[in-house]
Amino acid sequence: MPSTGPDATATAQQAADDQADPTARSGGRPLLVRTRAELARARAALEGPVAVVMTMGALHEGHAGLVRAARGRGRSVVATVFVNPLQFGEALDLESYPRDLEGDLALLGREGVDVVFAPPVEEVYPGGPPQVRVAAGPLGEVLEGASRPGHFDGVLTVVTKLLHLTRPDVVLFGQKDAQQLLLVRRMVADLSFDVEVVAAPTAREDDGLARSSRNARLDPDGRARAAVLSRALRRGE
């Protein structure tokens, strides 16, 4: 049954406004763009320097910290929300990855993001899975890469595409994904990308567990056990 009342009317009006001009921002809500053409129009209107935060959605306070760091680095901030199928080894893992675009837009709006690029898969990979990809090399075959073959190739391929599409002056990544951060920095240096890569500190829960979108998938026992590594490292230190 369709929604009625003031909220539904406002939503319908916003949708109509967006359709008339997809680069028109509404109130404190960031401009949501879905296509590369819309992104190009929105990007051309931004004042520089432009800072970009790349995410897979299901955002939390850790992402909010990244956006605040981006705001300190750029006059304009772009966030991407895209669940990249290339970096998932199992279809079930991809299907079960948490998604909450409305919640993401609310958080990004509170943090002052200017543009959110949330494309469908076919917009990022219009010809299907890309035949040419970025290879992570030896650094992507150890540690997490050893248990997730091809994962970092998928990460670097989508990061490359998003860097080309958003054209940032600075891009921010969390230190939580340390191997990913190292690989992105190495790729930017090796392939001569004209962008500064900035690391933001890991955001943690009160018990020391690093904030992650996947934490929502832990049952109470798993949630309790997940903080053991952090406590052990701190005691060892």
Query: Got the DSSP string for 202-231?
Result: PPB-TTSPBP-GGGGG--HHHHHHHTHHHH
CA angle 123, 124, 127 (to 5 degrees): 80
Please tell me the distance from the alpha carbon of residue 126 to that of residue 98, in angstroms, as a whole number. 24
Catalytic residue chosen out of the listed positions 60, 63, 151, 164:
63
- The CA distances from residue 62 to 14, 159, 175, in Å, are 29, 19, 11
Rg (CA), the chain: 19
Annotation says 60 is catalytic: no
**Spatial CB neighbours of 28, under 8 Å, sequence gap ≥ 6:** 109, 110
Residues involved in catalysis:
63
